[in-house]
């Protein structure tokens, strides 16, 4: 069964909330804005660009470069589930 973009977005948000709590909502919304996407109409390409920004800018300060790479890989695997 393949996931939908909203499901993948929700998975990423849920995972981020484990580390950052409610601040994760704002962090992820910032990345959606950065890629000029609409959170209600995300595409696979949008999610891929969002994950890339998370890996480059959002995740390293808290998880370090290696942790950021691992999380981004996990998130990209979820994005790859999209049809």
pLDDT in tens, 49-79: 999 999 999 999 999 999 999 999 999 999 9
Q: Residue 23's pLDDT is what?
A: 95
Give the relative orientation of helices 23-34 and 5-20 as an angle to the nearest 10 degrees. Answer: 130
Question: Residue written as tokens 């998130």?
Answer: 75
Say how many domains are in the chain: 1
Spell out the residues 6+ positions from residue 78 whose beta carbon is closer than 8 angstroms to its own: 3, 8, 11, 12
Domain containing 73 equals 5-80
Residue 58's SS3 state is: helix
Q: For residue range 1-41, what is the model confidence (pLDDT) as tens digits?
A: 688 999 999 999 999 999 899 999 999 999 999 999 999 99
């Amino acid at each position: 069964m393949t996931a939908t973009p909203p499901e993948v977005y929700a998975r990423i948000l849920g995972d981020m909330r484990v580390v950052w709590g409610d601040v994760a909502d704002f962090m992820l919304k910032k990345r959606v804005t950065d890629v000029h996407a609409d959170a209600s109409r995300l595409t696979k390409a949008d999610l891929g660009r969002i994950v890339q920004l998370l890996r480059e800018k959002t995740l390293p300060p808290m998880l370090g470069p290696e942790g950021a790479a691992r999380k981004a890989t996990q998130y990209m695997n979820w994005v790859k589930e999209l049809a």
